[in-house]
């Protein structure tokens, strides 16, 4: 039985293309003192992604390479990693876009390393669930779509895909575990935007904390790396505007007093 | 939680072993490592470095002013030293620090209060262009007096 | 007390906030307010002491005459207070980013307060000495 895609037409191919790219992949197993790099050569086609290449390494060269992925189309957020020192989703990062040099692949930073490219997301969810679960919002992803009669508009689940790239890119998360962090604060801002059943007041109070909205130092790196346009830094600044104006109002006797 | 996606046996369950959650933070290296980062990280670390530098300068400056308490000879001697080209070059470094920290600080104050959030990068670039022009003028003036 | 999500299995509260919730964020707001004040104060300081002065620095006699002007004296002392405050608050913010224990953080705050008060006291003493020579 032939493969569903002829090798010559497979734009994601990892063999038979003649163009070889070196990968320096971070390796770590439980018990290791610290990670080290291991090099692999992978042949790439014009649209081979980093995830294609890593799965090819695992399949053809080294079955001990541990990585995590699911959907292959930037929806699930599980293949977040650092490629050439920038946080990306490996499934939508094409190798040919990275220049000709060796491709450095690390797990996302500031999380507990489980093995190779896999980190434990427990810290992420600890912060994320501190606020409230995210809600739904109007979709601006497909403006051309026709809305069926009787439906006010399409909605999609909250933009955040919980990949953890923002925590990896944030300089403050790099040193201080107490900071609530970009993802959690962006979720808080969503609750305030669209409270539904949630208690927006207590969420706002939660963010008015030296370890929450006021801890951000405006590097905006979370927003720069976010693959889903959540704009966590912008969300934090809007939280602060709300908190600052409430503070000013409380001076004049109206609004919320802390 | 016991069936976490890590597929962990008891040996991998770091919580059961009483380990802390996140032992692999990048540390202060995460502040200064600008590889792969955008403009925001540069602004962040330069703001920190210029701020710390200016704080050191503040105390040096206060120390130098004690020569005024010593007397006219000490102070006027210092003034002629301060007009040597090496000192004037340091003055340009100082003015750079003041301009960067001051103008970026203006951005941090505005954006940090939720104003011009969506145009914050353009604001940064505009302030830096203004700062570069001011630095050029100040530098020319400093070396013109020297 | 604020509500926090609790992990149903571990019974652990998800996120522990800072310790200053009753006085939230005074550090950042003071930093911003003193920062804006420093911008104004330092601009005048630089122009008056360096940019309109021939050779860029006042000589001894000139410094005494300049500082003896009460408006100038108050301006420079206010500048000293505000800029010291701003600088030490900034150092405090950098140090606090290391995630020390609350006890260490309180010590840092106390130590930096002492440094700030000492610097301002020194500045006032120096001003008094200089003006008395006039």
Domain ranges of chain B: 39-145
pLDDT band at B7 (very low <50, low <70, confident <90, very high): very low
**Which pLDDT score is estimated for C56?**
84
Among the ranges given (A126-135, A213-222, B121-130), the one the predictor scored with the smallest mean pLDDT:
A126-135
Measure in Å the smallest separation between the Cα of A230 and chain B Cα atoms. Answer: 13
pLDDT tens per residue across span B69-116: 999 999 999 999 999 999 999 999 999 999 999 999 999 999 999 999
- Hey, of B15, B52, B112, which one would you mutate to test binding to chain A, going by the most A CBs within 10 A of its CB? B112
Residue A177 lies in a domain: yes
Residues A62 and A156 in one domain: no
pLDDT tens per residue across span C116-130: 999 999 999 999 999
Residue A257 lies in a domain: no
- Give the residues across from A39 on adjacent strands: A24
Cβ of C94 and B51 within 8 Å? yes
Chains that touch A (3 or more CB pairs under 8 A): B, C
- Hey, of A202, A204, A214, which one would you mutate to test binding to chain C, going by the most C CBs within 10 A of its CB? A214
C24: left (phi over 0), alpha (psi -120 to 50) or beta: beta
Read off the pLDDT of each residue in A128-144 and give the average, rounded to a whole number. Answer: 61
CATH number for the segment(s) C26-132:
1.20.1300.10
Write the ipTM: 0.85
**Which pLDDT score is estimated for A231?**
93
Residues A87 and A129 in one domain: no
Which of C17, C19, C27 is facing A212, going by the closest CB pair? Answer: C17
Residues A130 and A108 in one domain: no
Residues A240 and A159 in one domain: yes
> Measured between CB atoms, does A26 come within 8 Å of chain B?
no
Residues A214 and A192 in one domain: yes
pLDDT band at A36 (very low <50, low <70, confident <90, very high): very high
Tell whether the model's pLDDT for residue B118 goes beyond 50. yes
At the topology level, CATH places domain B39-145 in: 3 helical TM bundles of succinate and fumarate reductases (1.20.1300)
**Which pLDDT score is estimated for A164?**
94
A120: left (phi over 0), alpha (psi -120 to 50) or beta: beta
Cα A240 to Cα B65: distance, rounded to the nearest angstrom: 40
Residues A102 and A127 in one domain: no
Instruction: Please give the helix or strand (H or E) that residue A26 lies within, else none.
Output: strand A20-27
Last residue of a domain, one of A86, A103, A120: A120
Contact A21, A49 (CB under 8 A): no
Please, where are the H alpha helices in chain A? Answer: 50-56, 122-131, 165-169, 182-193, 200-207, 221-225, 232-251
Tell whether the model's pLDDT for residue C75 goes beyond 60. yes
Last residue of a domain, one of A73, A102, A120: A120
Q: Provide the greatest CA pair distance for chain B.
A: 79
Q: Count the domains in chain A.
A: 2
Read off the pLDDT of each residue in A52-58 and give the average, rounded to a whole number. Answer: 96
Measure in Å the smallest separation between the Cα of B129 and chain C Cα atoms. Answer: 18
Angle between helices C26-46 and B85-112 (to 10 degrees): 140
Read off the pLDDT of each residue in A32-49 and give the average, rounded to a whole number. Answer: 94
Last residue of a domain, one of A120, A135, A165: A120
Residues A127 and A114 in one domain: no
**Which pLDDT score is estimated for B3?**
37
Residues A217 and A113 in one domain: no
Measure in Å the smallest separation between the Cα of C98 and chain A Cα atoms. Answer: 5
CB under 8 Å, gap of 24 or more: what pairs does A196-202 form? Answer: A196/A135, A198/A132, A198/A135, A199/C3, A201/A256, A202/C2, A202/C3
Residues 6+ apart with CB under 8 A from B114: A237, A238, A239, A240, A241, A242, A244
Residue A104 lies in a domain: yes
DSSP string, B93-120: HHHHHHHHHHHHHHHHHHHHTTSS-TTH
> Measured between CB atoms, does C24 come within 8 Å of chain A?
yes
Cα A190 to Cα A201: distance, rounded to the nearest angstrom: 13
Please, where are the H alpha helices in chain C? Answer: 26-46, 60-67, 70-96, 102-132
Residue A170 lies in a domain: yes
> Measured between CB atoms, does C16 come within 8 Å of chain A?
yes
At which residue do the structure tokens 């197993």 appear?
A29
Contact A21, A72 (CB under 8 A): no
DSSP annotation of C51: I
Give the tokens for residue A119: 């980190």
- Give the residues across from A155 on adjacent strands: A138
- Rounded to 5 degrees, φ, ψ at A252 are -90, 15
Residues 6+ apart with CB under 8 A from A222: A165, A166, A167, A169, A170, A182, A183, A232, A233
Residue A24 lies in a domain: yes
Cβ of A130 and C15 within 8 Å? yes
Chains that touch C (3 or more CB pairs under 8 A): A, B
- Rounded to 5 degrees, φ, ψ at A65 are -75, 120
**Which pLDDT score is estimated for A169?**
96
At which residue do the structure tokens 């909250």 appear?
A158
Give the CATH number of the domain where residue A102 resides: 3.10.20.30
Residues A245 and A126 in one domain: yes
Among the ranges given (A167-176, B12-21, B94-103), the one the predictor scored with the smallest mean pLDDT:
B12-21
Read off the pLDDT of each residue in C48-67 and give the average, rounded to a whole number. Answer: 90
Domain that holds residue A102: 7-120
Cα A222 to Cα A208: distance, rounded to the nearest angstrom: 20
Give the tokens for residue A252: 């004049």
Residue A212 lies in a domain: yes
Give the CATH number of the domain where residue A136 resides: 1.10.1060.10
Q: Which residues of chain B lie closer than 8 angstroms to A239, CB-CB?
A: 114
Residue A2 lies in a domain: no
Q: Where are the domains of chain C?
A: 26-132
Cβ of B36 and A111 within 8 Å? no
> Measured between CB atoms, does C3 come within 8 Å of chain A?
yes
Q: Which residues of chain A lie closer than 8 angstroms to C8, CB-CB?
A: none
């Amino acid at each position: 039985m032939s493969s569903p895609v002829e090798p010559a037409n497979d734009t994601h191919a990892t063999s038979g293309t003649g163009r070889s790219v070196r990968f320096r992949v971070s390796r770590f197993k439980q018990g290791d003192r610290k990670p080290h790099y291991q090099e692999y050569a992978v042949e790439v086609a014009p649209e081979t992604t980093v995830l294609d290449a890593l799965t090819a390494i695992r399949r053809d060269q080294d079955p001990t390479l541990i990585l995590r992925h699911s959907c292959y189309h930037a929806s699930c957020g599980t293949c977040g990693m650092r490629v050439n020192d920038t946080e990306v989703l490996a499934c939508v990062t094409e190798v040919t876009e990275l220049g000709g040099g060796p491709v450095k692949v690390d797990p996302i930073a500031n999380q507990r390393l489980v093995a190779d490219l896999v980190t434990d997301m427990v810290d992420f969810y600890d912060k994320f669930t501190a606020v409230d679960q995210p809600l739904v919002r109007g979709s601006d992803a497909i403006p051309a779509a026709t809305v069926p009669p009787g439906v006010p508009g399409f909605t999609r689940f909250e933009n955040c895909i919980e990949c953890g790239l923002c925590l990896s890119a944030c300089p403050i998360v790099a040193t201080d575990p107490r900071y609530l962090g970009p993802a959690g604060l962006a979720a808080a801002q969503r609750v305030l935007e669209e409270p539904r059943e949630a208690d927006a007041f207590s969420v706002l109070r939660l963010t008015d904390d030296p370890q929450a909205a006021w801890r951000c130092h405006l590097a905006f790196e979370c927003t720069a790396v976010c693959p889903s346009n959540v704009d966590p830094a912008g969300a934090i600044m809007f939280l602060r505007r709300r908190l600052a104006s409430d503070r000013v109002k409380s001076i004049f006797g109206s609004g919320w007093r802390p | 939680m016991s069936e976490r996606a890590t597929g962990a046996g008891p040996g991998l369950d770091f919580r059961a072993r009483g380990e802390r959650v996140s032992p692999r933070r990048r540390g202060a290296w995460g502040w200064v490592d600008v590889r792969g980062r955008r403009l925001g990280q540069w602004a962040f670390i330069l703001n920190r470095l210029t701020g710390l530098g200016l704080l050191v300068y503040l105390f040096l400056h206060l120390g130098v002013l004690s020569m005024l308490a010593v007397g006219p000879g000490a102070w006027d001697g210092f003034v002629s030293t301060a007009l040597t080209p090496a000192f004037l070059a340091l003055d340009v470094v100082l003015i750079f620090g003041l301009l960067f920290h001051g103008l970026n600080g203006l951005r941090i104050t505005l954006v940090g209060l939720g104003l011009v959030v969506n145009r914050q990068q353009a604001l940064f670039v505009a302030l830096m262009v203004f700062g570069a022009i001011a630095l050029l003028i100040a530098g020319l003036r400093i070396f013109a007096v020297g | 007390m604020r509500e926090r999500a609790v992990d149903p299995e571990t019974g652990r509260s998800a996120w522990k906030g800072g310790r200053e919730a009753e006085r939230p964020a005074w550090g950042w707001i003071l930093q911003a307010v003193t920062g804006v004040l420093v911008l104004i104060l330092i601009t005048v300081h630089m122009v008056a002491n360096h940019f309109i002065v021939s050779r860029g620095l006042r000589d001894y006699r000139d410094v005494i005459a300049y500082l003896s002007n009460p408006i100038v004296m108050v301006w420079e002392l206010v500048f000293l207070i505000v800029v010291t405050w701003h600088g030490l608050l900034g150092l405090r913010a950098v140090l606090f980013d290391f995630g020390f224990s609350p006890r260490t953080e309180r010590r840092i705050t106390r130590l930096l307060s002492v440094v700030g008060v000492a610097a301002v006291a020194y500045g006032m003493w120096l001003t008094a000495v200089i003006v008395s020579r006039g």
